Structure 1
Amino acid sequence: PSFEDINLSLVIVRDTKNYQSPLYLLTSLPVESAKDAWEICHSYMHRWNIEQAFRFAKTELAIESPRLWFFENTLKLLAIVTLIYDFLMKLIRNWPSIIKIIINQFAHRTGNRCQNALTPIYRLRTAIQNMLWCYFAQQNSG
């Protein structure tokens, strides 16, 4: 597309140790200094975290699946999903050693890629689900 009336700037963010490919960020904000470029980079990273939260809500918490008649019910569902997401994130931040034990016990994965994942929230949700399933199966077994 042609954007002749909009001034665009390209911000290139490189890893100093060259472990990862550079990020190319295209922005309409003026970039006149390194400080401006870092602000754009940090804004993008913050936005990426928000995108990941929505992705998790859509895939793991099935926020798109229900058919609700009234908008108020949709807002209630969104509030519940937000509380669940906040709960899981607080568990990860406040008790990382316990969370690692729970994940390894109830959502074990092999391979470096799965074990070194930067977003363990998916495995934590699976681990809690498996842990609750084991608990209720044991309660109802006899």
Structure 2
Amino acid sequence: MGYTQTGIEKLFKLKSRSVYTLEAGRYKLTPRFAYLLKEKYEEEGVEFTDAGSDFGPGIRWRVPGRKDPYKRLMLPGARGLANLSQAQLGKIADVDQKFIARLELDDFDGVSQVKLDRLENALRTRNVEFTAETTSFGAGVRWIKNPSVAGQSQSASEC
């Protein structure tokens, strides 16, 4: 949705760095907070999808039409599924973390398709893929296969 960690904290009136500690795995997501987050994402047009026979759960825009040619709005969701920080993804993809940060903040003058391809390929090595927009649904991200098969334990609803 384009929120920063600070933006989510302000939206939910959380203490400073709460989202950081949650994303870093140093704070356990309570069922109440998980429900509130999911409800807010759904209000903003995000849909949580179930697993299919050859792919796992994920998230996508409920309706098509969100213009995101560089997948910058979906990148944090993809990183969340893969459980990767910007720095970790940058290292795997051989892309500077600052590029990822600028991309996610929509603070760039130009984008290297080579770097975007590296990011997408790095996420695929973690069994996460971007899904294309269709006439019925918007773009999204999902597990390529069921996370339990891939040795993962995080579900889409936890992101």
- Please indicate, yes or no, whether the TM-score normalized by the shorter chain is above 0.5: no
Which protein has the larger Cα radius of gyration, Structure 1 or Structure 2? 1
Superposition TM-score, scaled by structure 1 size: 0.26
Superposition TM-score, scaled by structure 2 size: 0.24
- Normalized per residue, the structure richer in helix is 1
Highest relative contact order (Cα 8 Å, sep 6+), 1 or 2? 2
